[in-house]
């Protein structure tokens, strides 16, 4: 049975649940399910930071999300309030706030909680990966 599954990731990129979210997404896609959107909230917003550079012996979860999203057309949405609180911003916000750099990773978009509510209505399941 084909299902539309949305993911909510509140785990920071260095936490085990962040890796499990990525693995779950891969397994769901391999099983013929659709994952239209992954919503990053709380510490999960750090996934959208283009400046993350994990040690060589650790997974680069942000880069892995970018690749997976590019291959399968998955929206990677970072909560705007959570992102700004953690210093993650797109070019428009950086310019408006007179910051010297934007650091939102390519493939990620910043939006509000409405995007989470929308995908919760549209999806058959919401699977959460807490921090």
**Dihedral over Cα of 62, 67, 83, 130: its sign:** negative
Residues 6+ apart with CB under 8 A from 99: 89, 93
Best CA proximity match to 21, nearest among 42, 47, 1:
47
**pLDDT at residue 58 in the model:** 85
Whose tokens are 């959208």? That residue is 48
Structural domain count of the chain: 1
CA distance 124 to 106: 28
**pLDDT at residue 125 in the model:** 96
pTM: 0.95
Active-site residue, selected from the candidate residues 79, 80, 116, 123: 79
Q: Does residue 25 carry a catalytic annotation?
A: no
DSSP 34: B
CATH code of the domain containing 107: 3.40.1260.10
Parent domain of 22: 5-129
Sheet holding 75-79, edge to edge: 108-111, 75-79, 37-40, 5-9, 125-129
CA distance 117 to 85: 21
Tell me the pLDDT of the chain (131 aa) as tens digits: 899 999 999 999 999 999 999 999 999 999 999 999 999 999 999 999 999 998 888 889 999 999 999 999 999 999 999 999 999 999 999 999 999 999 999 999 999 999 999 999 999 999 999 98
pLDDT tens column, 57-78: 888 999 999 999 999 999 999 9
Angle at which helix 61-72 crosses helix 16-30, to 10 degrees, equals 20
């Amino acid at each position: 049975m084909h299902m539309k599954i949305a993911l909510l990731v509140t785990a920071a990129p260095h936490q085990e649940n962040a890796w499990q979210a990525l693995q779950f997404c891969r397994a769901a896609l391999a099983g013929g399910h659709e994952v239209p959107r992954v919503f990053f909230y709380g510490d999960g917003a750090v996934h959208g930071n283009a400046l993350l550079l994990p040690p060589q012996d650790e997974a680069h979860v942000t880069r892995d999300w970018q690749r997976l999203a590019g291959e399968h057309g998955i929206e990677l949405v970072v909560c705007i309030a959570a992102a700004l609180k953690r210093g993650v911003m797109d070019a428009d916000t950086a310019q408006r706030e007179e910051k010297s750099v934007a650091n939102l990773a390519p493939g990620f978009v910043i939006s509000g909680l409405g995007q989470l509510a929308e995908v919760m209505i549209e999806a058959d399941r919401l699977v959460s990966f807490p921090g």
